[in-house]
Amino acid sequence: MAAELIFQPVAQLSALLETAKISSVELLQAFVARTKAVDGRVKAFNSFDEPGALALALAADERRAQGRARGPLDGIPVGFKDVIAVEGQPLTCSSKMLANYVSPYDATATTNLKAAGMIPWGRLNMDEFAMGSSTENSAFGPTSNPWDLSRVPGGSSGGAAAAVAAGEAPASLGSDTGGSIRQPAALCGIVGLKPTYGLVSRYGLAAFASSLDQIGTFAHTVEDAALLLGAVAGHDQRDSTSFATPVPDYRAELKQRTGPWRLGVPREFFGAGLDPEVGAAVRQAIEFYRRSGCEIREVSMPFTAEYAVAAYYIIATAECSSNLARYDGMRYGHRSAAATNAVDLYFKSRAEGFGEEVKRRIILGTYVLSSGYYDAYYLRAQKVRTLIRDEFMRVFQECDALLSPTSPTAAFKIGEKVSDPLAMYLNDIYTIGVNLAGLPGISVPCGFTGGGLPIGLQVIGQPFQESALLAIARAYEQGHDWHTKHPVL
């Protein structure tokens, strides 16, 4: 039975729990056994608390026995990217800087999932402080792609994607600053949802770039993504960027909305740099929508295509420089034992605690914020950001959503791009604009390369129109079986 459970969608597991065909304890034990069997090779987890999770599973079973189940998510394990706070569990951001830090509180997203009865199941590896596209920038070492252990799972939420793809968790929470949910979802062959900025509270999410970061979900199906989004979304007074908007029943609405839709295809997203196999798979997905009665419109987004990456790496690094200034060796986090005075403590603690990619971004961000350069770089990048959002809004006047590749290539070899930061940054060329504009986006599996590596289709939606976005993505998923394919480990 355990082998049959590990790749079941959350919705199916919920039905099995509701009909008492399995217990929450049995379900958790299946994922514990799977994790112990394969994670030595995948390395998706930084840590997990088996006794604590088991106690919560027992409590969930008791609630069901007494008729007090908290809903469809009650008793189901969920993994957390190691950047989202869970009280009493490590919060390392996969960095030496926070190697021994234990969170004293829950993130709002964590509180919401616990209220729904979900069981926090482990801390998942990531690029340090969410800075990277391959999960190679981790103090815990790289995570491997379950489809090919010699390749990356994407990043920065690589552990969260790999855990679901490998059957180590039925779902997980990650964060997306420039594609960090959608890109690893594409490379690992699962569903990854980045909601509209402000729909999910960022309280308890360790900050990288505050105006870009957003918590989202990984799952096997679009329906599962809708279930989890419904649990974590909602206004939160503790987050000043949280938007007060109604939270519908996403699961119900995605089934009610059937199209046809007007779907835009940005021609610039199919140019140089796109792997031919990836491009062919995405074009076939677009043709599916056309055959289904959708109106497919080619649109032009030259500004986004040309300037999004440059604007992003100015804005994100500037905010990173500001946010990471708090890690000074004095209040919490790594404290150098070799320092001889206060200034020495600051320099040595940061030099020892941060990895190379984080240092690179702090240096760049500090430079663009410095006197004499602020207007030339940061202020100009913010103006470009406004133009990029305006370009999306213009296109949305004639389209309900946009279709594009999620990533320009399938998963690449571990170590292949680590010495070329620019090549690494370009992995997010199709996803970054969504974050700059604050839009929702989702990646769904749409095929495999000849070498058996997953390919992702990205659907980009209008602000706070997650129900439509999910319905469009599900329409493709329902017509194909890519989401039912799983790696053999």
User: Which positions are catalytic?
Assistant: 81, 156, 180
The neighbouring-strand residues paired with 233 are 200
Six-digit token string for 200: 């999910």
431: which residues sit within 8 A by CB, 6+ positions away?
176, 178, 179, 182, 183, 406, 407, 441, 458
DSSP state letter for 89:
S
The neighbouring-strand residues paired with 6 are none
24: which residues sit within 8 A by CB, 6+ positions away?
17, 57, 58, 60, 61, 64, 74, 75, 76, 119
Buried b (16+ CB within 10 A) or exposed e, 443-478: bbbbbbbeeebbbbbbbbbbbbbbbbbbbbbbbbbe
User: CA Rg, the chain, in Å?
Assistant: 21
Residue 303 has a CB neighbour count (10 Å cut-off) of 17
- Tokens 């500090």 correspond to 366
User: How far apart, in Å, are the Cα atoms of 106 and each of 29, 117, 207, 210, 426?
Assistant: 24, 14, 15, 18, 34
